[in-house]
Amino acid sequence: EGGIERHSYDVVVVGAGGAGLRAAIAAHEAGANTAIVCKSLLGKAHTVMAEGGIAAAMGNRWPEDNWEVHFRDTMRGGKMLNNWRMAQLHAQEAPERVMELEDWGALFDRTDDGLISQRDFGGHKYARLAHVGDRTGLEMIRTLQQRAVQIGIDVFMECTVTELLQEDQRIAGVFGYWRETGRFVVIDAPAVVLATGGIGKSFKVTSNSWEYTGDGHALAMRAGASLINMEFVQFHPTGMVWPPSVKGLLVTESVRGDGGILKNSEGKRFMFDYIPEFFRSETADTVEEADRWYDDKKNNRRPPELLPRDEVARAINSEIKAGRGSPHGGIYLDIASRRDADYIRKRLPSMYHQFKELADVDITAEPMEIGPTCHYVMGGVEVDPDTQQSAVTGLYAAGEVSGGMHGSNRLGGNSLSDLLVFGRRAGESAAAYAAGLEKRPQVDDGLVRAGEWSALEPFNAEEGENPYSIHHDLQQQMNDLVGIIRTASELEEALAGIQRLKERAAAMAVDGHRQYNPGWHLALDLRNMLLVSEAIAKAALARQESRGGHTRDDFPKPDPEWGSKNLVVRLDEAGTGVDLTEQPLPVMPDELKTYFQE
């Protein structure tokens, strides 16, 4: 394979978001020679966009807060489908991980007593989100990145991994290309941590950026790993709806945490009509009580605007469907009439600028128009809860690409903490595994040639459809048929549609050459999006109940039977589609069950 660029490490981390950076730091500190590969520039990962904060039961505002309450909130938010052990580790270790970020230089907002400030978010009983204004992700990335670079971790940026290389099913390295030159690169490594983030770019309206094409999900499946919870996609209730160029862009939940309310076109504060039985006892049922809560949280229950995201997104969807939406097909989010302008500008500086610059709306003076947007995937690589190892020896996953932690619905703030807790664990386990190997798996030359061949395939066809039109159709279908509200007939239509898109993709062609060629890059990403979309639609069709991020119009209630099992997705025998199986949920030990007895 004359002249292919080649490197060798103990641990390769794919992804430079919070999970990847934290994993790489842990692996390096455990003594592993470690590299990070990321397809955008360092610092551009999704994590940088995180606004609201990091959930951790530090008890700075509420001494009553502790890991047990955080664990309980997380499990209830996920409608008890979470892997209990992951939820436990996450709640126990998040405070330490936040303190450590502070030690490494992160500057969090403060309480009057000088402690790290914590803000309210949906589904969290106590104010729990450590934050830096509404730019928490930026501070987190800045801190982790600085540390990673300082301790000497090598970074391959603008480099996309397209294959995991294996010997006898064990990980032997990764294959990828430099986005700028189109040249290939092989990195030999016995341990790989996937930290590639989410899948949002398979949907038309999304808060996610161009990078989130489900690469890690697809790479894991192709290597023989399993995915769980893929039917659970989180639609964030509040994305921008206008102007069209920014449709889907996130409006942080902090707007509601800081006092913002939702109104329909009739001016009605409608969330009171949508309080589900499951959360009734802890949700205010009058405007008066809801408003008192902001100042007196002890004696009042939470406003219904702060129900978990799945509940709020469904309610907004219903109001819009019933014809009570805003002019541009959303609903109103109003903080202007509730807080003074100074407060809004101080607490929500990014939101203020986002609306001013992009929509010419002054959020201190008028309501925002918002609607649901595809935001996060709960589903991902099935991992051991303590080590983050997948079913493939040498392959680990952490962050949004892994599954189980959030069950059927993630609480806001629980992703950034997840990245830190499980990123660290993944990095440590990967380093320990690599160090314990007597003989490392070798990368066979044939595999390298296969990687090259596969990556160059879109150039082979003389004539064919371009990847953009296929991507466009996939996004439209996922939005229309696999969105917030689902039915069997639409999901079947989606699966048939994905088959046709796969046939079109098999015959697609790209123009030009390998130097910075976005069409080619999309062609490669599209294979992943199609595989992952099939996994989502298939699991969504199989799960005949409504739970968390998965709502079936034809099965509108949760079903206790379904509440005890996961759907597991693997690559099918032909290697082109997915197979689905059911698997019982791990059983929570009795001492943890006591937290859920009312």
Residues 221-250 that bind ligand FAD (CB under 6 A): 250
Among 82, 143, 160, 388, binds ligand FAD (CB under 6 A): 160
Total residues contacting ligand FAD (rule CB under 6 A)?
A: 41
From the list 70, 256, 375, 521, the catalytic residue is 256
Check residue 367 and report its DSSP letter: P
Residue (388 or 546) nearer to ligand FAD, CB: 388
Applying CB under 6 A, does 50 fall inside the site for ligand FAD?
Answer: yes
Calpha distance 514→183 (Å, rounded): 7
- Which residue is at the shortest CB distance from ligand FAD? 17
Q: How many angstroms separate the Cα of 60 from the Cα of each of 112, 117, 194, 484, 487?
A: 11, 7, 33, 36, 44
**Going along 457-521, which residue ranges are E strands?**
485-486
Residues 407-426 that bind ligand FAD (CB under 6 A): 412-416, 419
50-58, 84-92, 272-280, 572-580 -> range binding ligand FAD (CB under 6 A)? 50-58
**Min CB(288)–ligand FAD separation in Å:** 30
Answer yes or no: 236 catalytic.
yes
- Asked whether the beta carbons of 380 and 82 are under 8 A apart, the reply is no
120 token code pair: 């309210």
Nearest to 4 by CA among 358, 310, 321, 452: 452
Of all helices (H) and strands (E), which one includes residue 446?
Answer: helix 445-460
Among 10, 27, 32, 39, binds ligand FAD (CB under 6 A): 39
Applying CB under 6 A, does 155 fall inside the site for ligand FAD?
Answer: no
Q: From the centroid of its chain, how far is CA 52?
A: 14
Applying CB under 6 A, does 257 fall inside the site for ligand FAD?
Answer: no
Applying CB under 6 A, does 18 fall inside the site for ligand FAD?
Answer: yes
- Asked whether the beta carbons of 422 and 97 are under 8 A apart, the reply is no
Among 32, 35, 49, 395, binds ligand FAD (CB under 6 A): 49
DSSP letters of 219-244?
HHHHHT--EE-TT-EEEEEEEE-SSG
Answer yes or no: 301 catalytic.
no
**Min CB(537)–ligand FAD separation in Å:** 21
- In the shown chain, the binding pattern of residues 113 to 142 toward ligand FAD, with x for contact by CB under 6 A and - for none, equals -----------------------xx-----
228 conformational bin, left if phi > 0, alpha if psi -120 to 50, beta if neither: beta
**Min CB(98)–ligand FAD separation in Å:** 12
Which class for 38: exposed (0-12), middle (13-18), buried (19 or more C-beta within 10 A)?
A: buried
Among 83, 208, 226, 364, binds ligand FAD (CB under 6 A): 208
- Asked whether the beta carbons of 484 and 309 are under 8 A apart, the reply is no
**Min CB(184)–ligand FAD separation in Å:** 13
From the list 76, 236, 309, 375, the catalytic residue is 236
In the beta sheet, which residues pair with residue 228? 380, 568
- In the shown chain, the binding pattern of residues 367 to 386 toward ligand FAD, with x for contact by CB under 6 A and - for none, equals ---------x----------
Nearest to 307 by CA among 319, 315, 299: 315
Q: Please list the active-site residues.
A: 236, 256
Residues at the site binding ligand FAD, with contacts judged by CB under 6 A:
14-20, 37-40, 45-47, 49-53, 136-137, 160-161, 195-197, 207-208, 211, 215, 250, 376, 399-401, 412-416, 419
